[in-house]
Amino acid sequence: MSLRIGVIGTGAIGRDHARRINQVLTGAGITALSDVDLDGAKAVKADIAPDAEVFAKGEDLIGSDKVDAVLVTSWGATHEQYVLAAIAAGKPCFCEKPLATTAEGAKRIVDAEAAHGKRLVQVGFMRRYDAGYRMLKQVVDSEIGQPLMVHAAHRNPSVPDQYVTPMAIHDTLIHEIDVFRWLLDDDYVSAQVVFPRASSHTHARLKDPQVVLLETAKGIRIDVEVFVNCRYGYDIQCQVVGEEGLAYLPEPTSIMMRKDARLQNPILTDWKDRFVASYDVELQDFISAAARGTASGPTSWDGYVAALSSDACVTAQEAPGTIVPISLPARPALYN
Ligand code: NAI
Ligand code: ISE
């Protein structure tokens, strides 16, 4: 029988994940939808999941006997309550990033899952499923000697007006924070943030761009430019410098044109297009594991470490130039 999935939060990514589950992936179907904006949930039912029941409360969806597994795609601040409820119900749960908006909240999830004794949670760090990052990891692991430095950039063409300085970390850099731990098999020991001249396209509550400097336990130095009003496109760059050579994250495939006396390639403008294939693979992985009553991929521990590292980066933003230490508690055996 197909895995019956309930989606809590039917905004941009919730709708997109519902579409891929019902129209692209195999082994699962959407049987329940919930959103504080009931009309949004009803619209997803009408467009994508006609058989789904709409719930006013996420907790009622989690408790429903029509739901085997849960997708949490509501606003970040609401993730913790739903993930904890899914663990309490013993149901596998895919939670979009961030796992929680505070490290303490993420730790409560780690503790609840560890007490349950079996993995139930997958965090939506989709870059680990991206074909380009996977190729990069293979080369970093085998071709370029020990990695010494990483130079990276995370650029969005623009962000909504309510996007403010700390969101450059919690909402945006969090993808690099996770993927570099995985890519380098390492953890962070410190963070520092510096601000170059601000773009005239930003506003008083958003310092843009920013440069985040991370140091790992192995001594690798990482610099990431976060530039969320870069105007020209959605652009994710990563270059790993090893002692024997350099490895680059591949550019997304695109058609090169010779036209109007220019040599040119189009650049994507939307994160949904940049990572469309990775979202498919990550959710198919969730479906496979959830059908066995468990979870795979990025863990609650990964979500917790990302939250802890993000908090250090936000502290570093508040005192530009200051080096903020990052230290982790012991990792529960469930995540070894
Ligand atoms: P959105 O604002 O388009 O959708 C969020 C939905 O959650 C809205 O429909 C809202 O009404 C609903 N909601 C808010 N509070 C709720 C509650 N207590 N219970 C139920 N529903 C509630 O936001 P978007 O862009 O879809 O982001 C959702 C989450 O997905 C965020 O955590 C975001 O960081 C993450 N995300 C992840 C991406 C990735 O690349 N992995 C990309 C974009 C978003
Ligand atoms: C958004 O929430 C995402 O997760 C995107 O992947 C990221 O590029 C963007 O900056 C965030 O706002």
pLDDT in tens, 78-100: 999 999 999 999 999 999 999 99
Query: 7, 10, 13, 78: which to mutate for ligand 1, most atoms within 8 A of CB?
Result: 13
Counting residues of the chain whose pLDDT is more than 70, the rounded percentage is 100
Distance between CA atoms of 43 and 39, rounded to whole angstroms? 6
Closest ligand 2 atom number to CA of residue 154: 8
3-state secondary structure of 324: strand
Is the CB of 64 inside a 6 Å radius of any atom of ligand 1? Answer: no
Name 191's Cβ contacts closer than 8 Å, sequence gap at least 6. Answer: 212, 213, 214, 215, 309, 312, 313, 315, 316, 323, 324, 326
Query: Which tokens in the block code for residue 70?
Result: 């849960």
Distance in Å, CA 77 to ligand 1 centroid: 9
Query: Which tokens in the block code for residue 25?
Result: 């992936």
The predicted-structure confidence for 148-204, as pLDDT tens digits, reads as follows 999 999 999 999 999 999 999 999 999 999 999 999 999 999 999 999 999 999 999
Is the CB of 248 inside a 6 Å radius of any atom of ligand 1? Answer: no
The CA-atom distances, in angstroms, between 333 and each of 69, 110, 256 are 24, 11, 49
Ligand 1: which residue has its CA nearest to atom 25?
A: 12
Q: With 0-12 CB in 10 A as exposed, 13-18 as middle and 19+ as buried, what is 12?
A: exposed
* Residue 1: pLDDT over 70: no
Task: Indicate if the alpha-carbon torsion angle 79, 82, 88, 90 is positive or negative.
Answer: negative
Distance between CA atoms of 254 and 264, rounded to whole angstroms? 10
Is the CB of 8 inside a 6 Å radius of any atom of ligand 1? Answer: yes
Among residues 65, 15, 64, 63, which one has the least CA distance to residue 35?
Answer: 15
Ligand 2: which residue has its CA nearest to atom 2?
A: 171
For residues 251, 256, 259, 264, the Cα torsion angle rounded to the nearest 10 degrees is 10
Closest ligand 1 atom number to CA of residue 34: 20
Q: If pLDDT is split at 50, 70 and 90, which confidence band does 53 have?
A: very high
Is the CB of 132 inside a 6 Å radius of any atom of ligand 1? Answer: no
Distance in Å, CA 303 to ligand 2 centroid: 16
HSE-CB at 56 with a 13 A cutoff on CA atoms is: 0
DSSP 204: T
Is the CB of 229 inside a 6 Å radius of any atom of ligand 2? Answer: no
Distance in Å, CA 234 to ligand 2 centroid: 10
Ligand 2: which residue has its CA nearest to atom 10?
A: 172
* Residue 40: pLDDT over 90: yes
pLDDT score recorded for residue 273: 94
